[in-house]
Amino acid sequence: MAAVNDNPSAAGTTLHYIFDPMCGWCYAAAPLVEAARGVPGLKVAFHGGGMMTGANRRAITPQWRNYVMPHDRRIAELTGQPFGEAYFDGLLRDTGAVMDSEPPTTAVLAAEALREGGGLDMIHRLQRAHYVEGRRVADADVLATLAAELGFDRGDFASAFSRLAGEATSRHIAASRQLLQRAGGQGFPTFVLVQADGGASRVDVGPWLGRADEWKAQLATLVVPSPATAAAGAGPASCGPDSCAI
């Protein structure tokens, strides 16, 4: 496959997670992401692809609800991921709500800017807020509340959000889409494992959905430590069948 990392991480192996906060199949893979964060010597890096931005923003309609519900039911059956009544019979009936990936992506970037690993924490919290709690995760007030629930100072988060909104988020989305293209991915989520020497391989997570413990064990066998990591010992962990198309 084409190279996906022009500056390989000296820290060892990195799992690149190309996602969108409004993507149901990314929510399906959320337990795999959380499991990967616990693999010693493996870094997990996120890349928000902006699935529902610009002209692709989408208002909630009865037709949209009818379209997504079968997919959501399938995700629940395959993975055990919960979907709340507040989502099925609340948000998906809220015709005033808009599906917009840009504000939650900015929130993820702001959380990471404030705390290493905070971006992945925010992704996980956004997914639960959307699919279980049925909250409007494109609304600034909701995002600020979620950040506070994760322990971020409201003022610090607001400042980081303001600084990263607009152009900075657009650049991140553009870079994520370029990465997706170079990796040969067809949609979200796409996972790419990059070793310290720059060797890269796309990882099909479809067979691992609903099997987080087995996935974690398999990932551990694929981690190749950098010379520095090997000399010092393993460092701490840090931050299919279907996908969501752009």
Residue 12: the pLDDT is: 85
pLDDT tens sequence across 49-70:
999 999 999 999 999 999 999 9
* 152-161 average pLDDT score: 98
pTM: 0.88
Three-state DSSP state, 122? helix
CA-to-CA distance for 28 and 142, rounded, in angstroms? 22
Residue 2: the pLDDT is: 42
Backbone dihedral angles phi then psi of residue 48, each to the nearest 5 degrees: -80, 125
pLDDT tens sequence across 91-140:
999 999 999 999 999 999 999 999 999 999 999 999 999 999 999 999 99
Residue 61: the pLDDT is: 96
> Which tokens belong to 72?
């959501």
Task: Check: CB of residue 7 under 8 Å from CB of residue 187.
Answer: no
- Secondary structure letter of residue 238 according to DSSP: B
Task: Check: CB of residue 17 under 8 Å from CB of residue 44.
Answer: yes
CA-to-CA distance for 140 and 171, rounded, in angstroms? 20
Residue 17: the pLDDT is: 98
| 225 has a pLDDT exceeding 70 | no
> In which order are the strands placed within the sheet that holds 190-194?
42-48, 13-19, 190-194, 200-203
